[in-house]
Structure 1
Amino acid sequence: MVSYRDSEALAMYEEVLQAVPDNYTALCKASFLRCRMGERITDEGTRIAFYSKAKEYAARAYSLKPADADANYVMALSLGAMAMVSGPKQRLTGINQMKSFLDAALASNSKHADSWHLLARWNYKMANLNFAESVAAKMMFGGVCDEASNQKAIEALQTAIKYNPNNIQYYFDLAMIYKDLKQNDAFTGTLEQALALEVTTRDELELSRRCRIMLQQYQK
């Protein structure tokens, strides 16, 4: 189910793009929204179509401003989104390609919180490949996956929170890493920080609900 607010915003940006196809801000925003909305779509064909269009918008934005943080971020985001709906080889390729765009985004703007968040997800994914994926990644990309670690994922999320302390998604992702690593004090502390945030959107309210349930289950 896609939120009405996102659908309305996407329609607005795509209307702008119909009139001005090279509007940089609209390209970045439309790409981001299509990636975010695609996560909530259950039909695989529709989700792939959303991600494909997101990647197209990102590529157009990148062609306009290849050194800008936002263009590099949406390139990385759309590559990651497409990777998740692709076969094993394409998935690893897409995840690997994300890194150079994230590095470029943060070189352009070291305070780009969403890029730090996505870098955390990249690190966590690459650090926790299964055996077959790890072997394939080393054969295809050399030692790129060896650069990734759970600690780097934690540090990247902490940096994202530093630059945007009101985004509950960052806290939720950080708590999930702490949970997987069985760092219980950090896990519960992060959940408590998340629950102290003011949330308004449906997505934020859902993440807050999930944080509350996890904390209650742990404290039983």
Structure 2
Amino acid sequence: MKKIRIFSTAIFLLAALFVQYAAAQNLPLLFKQATNAEINLNEQQALDIYKKILVIAPDNLNALVKATELSCSTGERLPIANDKRITFQSALAYAQRAVATHPEAAESYYALALASAKMTEVEKDRKLLVQYVKDIKTNADKALNINPNLGMANFVEGRWHYEMNNLNWAKKLALKTMYPGGIPPTSYDSAIVYLEKCRQTQPYYVMNYLILAKSYQANNNPSKAIEVLKQLVKLPVRTPDDAALKTEGQKMLDSLE
């Protein structure tokens, strides 16, 4: 009886290992399907596939980062505030898992900075809001300390500098009084440095061009803003948001020319 029990256990373990092996063999196909879904502008489908990948490989860095990014972008389009918040919280959870399992990777901290930025859009508690604002820069800094050429980390850092410098005086005062140690120095010049670096490594990222153009305009350099906007309107549509961003860029360009 004991031998039968041991044999049954061995068979069960072998079957489980076979299932795990078979699932792992499907990972390249699933990644390809997710990429194709993104190319076809179906981000929700891509996100669902990355979730499947994370069931098979919970610590896969690429899948964790992509799940973070797509949770952020799909959540942004949700019309119901609570649904948006839940989706952004999912993005934050994926990013936190990326940092926990891959603390050596710049992409992990970029993902956490991105998710923290999205949480600032839905967080109502002032102390938590300030903490998320701080977390954006803290984690973007960590990402860039590991890899200064990580394009999307440069974008998050650059946008943080732009938005901090673009706050009205009342919001700046509120942040200054609650931000531990005071708000780090910001300027449109610093925003431009980071955003230009993103443009070098992410030449098709439409949102970066728009924030860069706004930074140049705010920095009293309309000729550079026009130059960036002329490039923006010629970019291909690669995400569901790009068409609207290009329309906004064209309107801005028309107002400057």
> What TM-score does the superposition give when structure 1 sets the normalisation length?
0.89
Partner of 2:45: 8
Q: Percent of aligned pairs with the same residue?
A: 29
Partner of 1:176: 214
Distance verdict in 2 for CA 1:151–1:17, change over 3 Å: same
Q: Tell me the distance in 1 between the aligned counterparts of 2:119 and 2:81.
A: 11
Partner of 1:18: 55
- Equivalent residue of 2:120, what SS? helix
Q: Which amino acid aligns with 1:20?
A: A
Distance verdict in 2 for CA 1:119–1:200, change over 3 Å: closer
Partner of 1:65: 102
Counterpart among 175, 178, 193 of residue 155 in structure 1: 193
- Equivalent residue of 1:10, what SS? helix
Q: Which runs of 5+ in 2 are unaligned?
A: 1-39
Counterpart among 76, 97, 104 of residue 39 in structure 1: 76
The alignment yields a C-alpha RMSD, in angstroms, of 2.0
- Equivalent residue of 2:183, what SS? helix
Q: Tell me the distance in 2 between the aligned counterparts of 1:178 and 1:75.
A: 27
Partner of 2:24: none
Paired residues, number: 217
The question of whether the paired residues in 2 share the 8 Å contact of 1:83 and 1:93 is answered with: no
The question of whether the paired residues in 2 share the 8 Å contact of 1:67 and 1:105 is answered with: no
Q: Which runs of 5+ in 1 are unaligned?
A: none
The question of whether the paired residues in 1 share the 8 Å contact of 2:127 and 2:178 is answered with: no
Q: Summarize deviations over 1:134-186 as a string: whole Å, max 9, x none.
A: 33333333554242211111111111112222222211111122333443212
- Over alpha carbons, which structure has the higher Rg? 2
Partner of 2:86: 49
The question of whether the paired residues in 2 share the 8 Å contact of 1:67 and 1:104 is answered with: no
Distance verdict in 2 for CA 1:138–1:117, change over 3 Å: same
Counterpart among 139, 143, 162 of residue 124 in structure 1: 162
Q: Tell me the distance in 2 between the aligned counterparts of 1:214 and 1:134.
A: 26
Displacement of 1:210 after TM fit?
A: 2.3
Displacement of 1:201 after TM fit?
A: 4.0
> What TM-score does the superposition give when structure 2 sets the normalisation length?
0.77
Distance verdict in 2 for CA 1:202–1:129, change over 3 Å: closer
